[in-house]
Structures are given as structure tokens and as C-alpha cells.
């Protein structure tokens, strides 16, 4: 009788759970995401055991988190964001433009134009790799830079916020759990994600459920939230999925390039913090939420940080989404214009 072994991704899940549990015990912010992320990276880097990604695990995590983020949207908070919409757009545009510093650093150290540009843009890794492929970038460098930027922001920003600012004051209650509404929102979120994916839109498993949940929450002014533990499951699945992009070969590949990427990420984070401070003076919006919204991290990760630290999740999400849209719509036309100007 042939021996039957469990698939390797079972071990990925168990290692991620162990890391998340340990991080929760030491009080680390976003413990189930950061803990699972670090535990799996350590196993993949320090042992020959190359843990594989849980099939569709990250999509499922994004679906959970997307619904959770959407349920934070209430008419009162949206009205506050709408009152300062143009200034928020300016803030998102400014932090997008600040990535020119990263382009400059990479160009000064020998990277070609396309690689430096698309490795520096604060958009999704998949989207920037696709744009880089159409414009002649070195795709391994673009993917490495994008992955490392998100990793650095996820590991550093929640910890710094927790250390320097504490837990913050809740701006609004997440509300009680309504299983009836969740039974409607959850499957509609899956359908919207599948439609979004079919239309080749970015982050379909985050944006699809988020759009459904936010629309229903705003229309009915529901004031409801996810059940206890749902956010932790989403964190664990996202952290476990992200970790499987890193191993010893990743960190040994062009270490000077990775160091320059880290330096550029740090500078962009400092510029984002300064822009958030200026914007808070003009709008009287919460400085902590503005700062988090302008950080060059992923939408799910930064919105989760806002939820954990009891900041304005809709404001953070709005800033992150606006920046992503700006990058997706402007990155390729701006690169081609820059490239054309250099060749004339």
C-alpha cells in the first residue's frame, strides 16, 4: 500500500499558526500576520524545508479582510473623507511622486531606466511586474524590490506605531455581529471578486469583497463587524502567503540592490510622514491615520494596522486605494514620456 503524505502546505499553515501564536503572546502588533510571516521566512531561510503557499490561502485571507474593511465604512466617516477629498487626493499624489527618489537612487547605482522605475513605484507587485515586462525591465529585480518594500513596511510600521503612539482612541465602534447580513455579504463578495478577476482588475480578492461590504454597509448604515477571530484568520492567511516569496536565494540575490531598495523605502516612509503632518494641519484629520494611509505598503496590511490600532480604517483605505489607482493609471504613460524625452 503506497505511503500517503500530507501536502507541504499543511506544514506552512502550522508553522504560520505557531508564529502567530508566539507573536500574540509577546504583544506584537498584527501578531497573526507578522508572526506567521517571520516564522515561515525563518524556516524557508534556515532549513532545507521550502514550505509552499496554501492553495488560494492568500485570496481567502484578502476576502475576509476585504469584508472587514468594507464594514468599517459608515456615512459619517465617508462624509468626513469627502469634505477633504481634494486634499487627500493631493496627499496620495504627493507620496506617489516621492517615489522619484527611489528611481534616482537606483539609477545612480547602475539600474536601467525601466527596472529602476517599476521597481520604485508603490503599486502592487503583480501589476508592476506586468508593466515592467511590457517596457523591458528586469522582472526579477522588479519583483524583488516590490516584495521587499511590502515586507519592510509590514514589519516596521505597525511596530513603530504601537511603540510611539500606543493603541489610539477608537473613532467609531465596529458594531455587533449580524450573521444574516454576513450571510448576504460573504457570497456576494466572492462573486464580485471573481468578476473583478475576470475583468483583470488589481487585487480582485480584496477590492471585490471590500466594494460589496462597503456598499451594503453604507446603504443600510449597518454598524456591524466580523465575528471574533475572523480578522486573525485573515492575517494568518495573508502573512503565510506573503512569506512564501522569500528564501535564502532571495536575500543572496544582488544584496546591494536590496540594500538600496531598503534605503529608498525608508526615505519614502519619512516623506510620507512629513506629508501626513502637513495635511493634518490643513484638514484637522487624524495625523496617525493620515500617516498610515500614506505609507508605501499594501492596502490590506495598512488597513489591518489601522484596525488594530483603532484608527480610521476608511481614511487609511481611501488613501491607499487612491495611491494605487494613481500608480496604475499614471506609471506607464509617465515612464514612456520620460523614456521618449531621454532618447530625443
Distance CA 168, CA 288 (A): 9
Q: Within a domain: residue 48? A: no
Q: Shortest CA distance to 157 belongs to which of 276, 43, 71, 54? A: 276
Q: What is the mean pLDDT of residues 291-296?
A: 90
Q: Taking the complete model, does pTM exceed 0.85, yes or no?
A: no
The SS3 assignment for 210 reads helix
Q: Residue 10: enclosing H or E segment and its boundaries?
A: helix 8-25
Tens digit of pLDDT for each residue in 167-196? Answer: 554 444 456 888 999 999 999 999 999 999
Q: What is the mean pLDDT of residues 130-158?
A: 86
Number of domains, the chain: 1
Q: How many residues belong to the chain?
A: 344
Contact call for residues 328 and 127 (beta carbons, < 8 A): yes
Q: Within a domain: residue 175? A: yes
Q: Within a domain: residue 76? A: yes
Contact call for residues 324 and 123 (beta carbons, < 8 A): yes
Q: Within a domain: residue 3? A: no
Q: Within a domain: residue 282? A: yes
Q: Minimum mean pLDDT among 106-110, 220-224, 308-312: which range?
A: 308-312
Percent of the chain with pLDDT strictly greater than 90:
35
In this prediction, residue 6 carries a pLDDT of 61
| Residues spanned by the domain of 72 | 59-242+250-343
Q: Within a domain: residue 14? A: no
Distance CA 239, CA 19 (A): 10
Residue 43 has pLDDT above 90, yes or no: yes
Q: Within a domain: residue 40? A: no
Neighbours of 327 (CB within 10 A): 23
237 pLDDT tier (thresholds 50, 70, 90): very high
What letter does residue 176 receive in the DSSP assignment? B
Q: Which three cell numbers stand for residue 185?
A: 455579504
Q: Within a domain: residue 285? A: yes
Amino acid at each position: 500500500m503506497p505511503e500517503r503524505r500530507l501536502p507541504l502546505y499543511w506544514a506552512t499553515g502550522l508553522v504560520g499558526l505557531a508564529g502567530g501564536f508566539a507573536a500574540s503572546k509577546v504583544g506584537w502588533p498584527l501578531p497573526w500576520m507578522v508572526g506567521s510571516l517571520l516564522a515561515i521566512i525563518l524556516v524557508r531561510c534556515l532549513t532545507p524545508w521550502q514550505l509552499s503557499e496554501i492553495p488560494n490561502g492568500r485570496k481567502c485571507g484578502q476576502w475576509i479582510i476585504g469584508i472587514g474593511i468594507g464594514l468599517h465604512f459608515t456615512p459619517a466617516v465617508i462624509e468626513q473623507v469627502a469634505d477633504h477629498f481634494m486634499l487627500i487626493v493631493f496627499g496620495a499624489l504627493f507620496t506617489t511622486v516621492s517615489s522619484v527618489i527611489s528611481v534616482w537612487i537606483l539609477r545612480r547605482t547602475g539600474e536601467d531606466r525601466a527596472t529602476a522605475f517599476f521597481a520604485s513605484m508603490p503599486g502592487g507587485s503583480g501589476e508592476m511586474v506586468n508593466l515592467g515586462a511590457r517596457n523591458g525591465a528586469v522582472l526579477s529585480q522588479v519583483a524583488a524590490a516590490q516584495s521587499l518594500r511590502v515586507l519592510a513596511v509590514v514589519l516596521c510600521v505597525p511596530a513603530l506605531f504601537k511603540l510611539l503612539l500606543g493603541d489610539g482612541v477608537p473613532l467609531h465602534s465596529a458594531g455587533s455581529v449580524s450573521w444574516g447580513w454576513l450571510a448576504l455579504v460573504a457570497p456576494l463578495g466572492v462573486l464580485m471578486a471573481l468578476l473583478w478577476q475576470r475583468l483583470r482588475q488589481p487585487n480582485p480578492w480584496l477590492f471585490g469583497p471590500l466594494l460589496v461590504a462597503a456598499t451594503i454597509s453604507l446603504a443600510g448604515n449597518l454598524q456591524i463587524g466580523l465575528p471574533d477571530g475572523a480578522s486573525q484568520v485573515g492575517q494568518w492567511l495573508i502573512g503565510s502567503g506573503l512569506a512564501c516569496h522569500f528564501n535564502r536565494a532571495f536575500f543572496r540575490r544582488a544584496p546591494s540592490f536590496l540594500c538600496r531598495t531598503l534605503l529608498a523605502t525608508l526615505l519614502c516612509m519619512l516623506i510620507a510622514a512629513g506629508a501626513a503632518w502637513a495635511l493634518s494641519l490643513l484638514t484637522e484629520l487624524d495625523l496617525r491615520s493620515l500617516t498610515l494611509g500614506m505609507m508605501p505598503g499594501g492596502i490590506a496590511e495598512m488597513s489591518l494596522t489601522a484596525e488594530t490600532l483603532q484608527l480610521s480604517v476608511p481614511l487609511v483605505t481611501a488613501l491607499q486605494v487612491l495611491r494605487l489607482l494613481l500608480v496604475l493609471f499614471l506609471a506607464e504613460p509617465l515612464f514612456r514620456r520620460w523614456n521618449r524625452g531621454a532618447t530625443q
